[in-house]
Amino acid sequence: MSKILVIHGPNLNLLGTREVGIYGKVTIDEINKELRSAAGKKKIGIEIMQSNHEGEIVDVIGKAKSSGIGAILINPAAYTHTSIAIRDAIAACGIPTVEAHLSNIYSREEFRHTSLIAPVAKGQVTGFGKTSYVLGLEAAIELLKKKNA
C-alpha cells in the first residue's frame, strides 16, 4: 500500500512556544508521535517533514508520486493564504490531499479566511488543535484506501 506524506509548513517547528493562546502547548514532536502511532495501528506507511521554505515544500510534493506517496496531509500554515506554487504543486501531482489547520482560520484575521489550497484539496479540517491532524490523517487514510481499492 502507498504511504501518506505529512507536510508541516512554516513556523510549525515552533509549536509549543509560539502563540500558545492560538496554537496551544502541543509540540510538533507530539503531533508527529500521535500521527505515527495512528498510522501504525492502521498499518499505513507515513513520511513526515517540516519546512519553512516554500520551494522545498513544492519539491517534496513534486517528487511524492515517484516516492510511493498515495495521499498527502498538509498544514501549509501561512502559505495557505499566499502560495500559488504549493497550490499548483498539489494540483499537478494528482495525489489526493487533505488540508489541516490547528486553529480555525475562518475565525481569525480576515486575510486568513482565504485558502489557496482548499480548491485543490479533497477536504479541510480546521480549528481542532492537534485533533485536526488526527482527523486529517483519518481522511487521508480513507482516500488512500479508495484509491487502492
Give the residue numbers marked as catalytic.
Answer: 23, 101
Residue type for position 11: N
Q: How far is CA 9 from the centre of its chain?
A: 8
Hunting for cell 486575510 — which residue is that? Answer: 111
Alpha helices in 13-83 (DSSP H): 20-23, 28-41, 54-64
Q: Beta partners for 123?
A: 98
Cα gap 28→115, rounded to integer Å: 22
Question: Which run of H or of E encompasses 47?
Answer: strand 45-50
